[in-house]
């Protein structure tokens, strides 16, 4: 009787072990992130490693999120048209991302492109961003254009630049609202560079790593909510 009982217990144990091995374990996938933009997105003046998208990913990792390295589609000097033109060659049309950020428009302003042209092209960028987000509108967010009029580069035309940047940002905010996409206003932080030169990179135009970290401070809580 004892032998029979021992055989039964052993058989149950073996079956349990085999069953546990047969259950596939799905590894937790890393969150993916696509950053669209221009020189502000690639960290011109400080390098990609100190850019705000990379800093954002590192901060999210510190909060316990599994994050893949960001895919950055941006170049210094790009306008909305340049971003649209290069989008398909930079992105696999079948690849989607959890998060997609948009920060574009300063070169439209600098090159004196019209607001109407900017809005048409920006809407196309938002459409592409939403299409490539696994979370759709929830996964997309837009940042306002910084005010470079407070930098040494823009100092001679500071008032005009501030007014024009504000008009372009009005368009960004409106397009974001129309698409149910979050809009984060980091322009006031950029304007602090008027009294704090530590917020400006060595090229006298672009943000320093410190300013980029301030942007991340401003947006990270709301971005993190998108991953929950």
Any idea where the domains of the chain sit in the sequence? 30-226
- Segment 8-50, tens digit of pLDDT: 444 444 444 444 344 444 456 799 999 999 999 999 999 999 9
Instruction: Pick 30-226's CATH classification: 3.40.50.1110, 3.40.640.10, 3.40.50.261, 3.40.50.620.
Output: 3.40.50.1110
- Compute how many other C-beta atoms are within 10 angstroms of the C-beta atom of residue 86: 14
- Segment 150-188, tens digit of pLDDT: 999 999 999 999 999 999 999 999 999 999 999 999 999
> What pTM value is reported for the model?
0.88
Question: Would you state the structure tokens that stand for residue 133, as one six-digit string?
Answer: 């987000």
Residues 6+ apart with CB under 8 A from 100: 33, 34, 35, 36, 129, 130, 132, 133, 139, 140, 141
């Amino acid at each position: 009787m004892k032998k029979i009982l021992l055989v039964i217990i052993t058989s149950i144990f073996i079956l349990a072990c085999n069953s546990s091995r047969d259950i596939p374990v799905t590894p937790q996938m890393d969150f993916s992130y696509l950053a669209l933009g221009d020189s502000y997105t690639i960290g011109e003046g400080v390098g990609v490693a100190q850019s705000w998208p990379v800093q954002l990913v590192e901060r999210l990792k510190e909060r316990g999120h599994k994050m893949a390295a960001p895919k950055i589609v941006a170049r210094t000097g790009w306008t909305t048209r340049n971003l649209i033109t290069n989008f398909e060659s930079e992105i696999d049309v079948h690849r989607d991302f959890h998060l997609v950020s948009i920060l574009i428009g300063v070169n439209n302003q600098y090159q004196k492109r019209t607001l109407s042209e900017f809005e048409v092209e920006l809407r196309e960028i938002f459409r592409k961003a939403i299409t490539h987000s696994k979370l759709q509108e929830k996964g997309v967010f837009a940042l306002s254009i910084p005010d470079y009029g407070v930098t040494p580069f823009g100092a001679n035309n500071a008032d005009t630049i501030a007014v024009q940047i504000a008009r372009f940002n009005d368009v960004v905010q409106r397009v974001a609202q129309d698409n149910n996409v979050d809009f984060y206003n980091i322009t006031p932080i950029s304007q602090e560079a008027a009294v704090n030169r530590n917020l400006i990179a060595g090229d006298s135009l672009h943000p320093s790593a410190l300013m980029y970290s301030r942007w991340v401070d401003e947006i990270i809580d709301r971005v993190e909510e998108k991953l929950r």
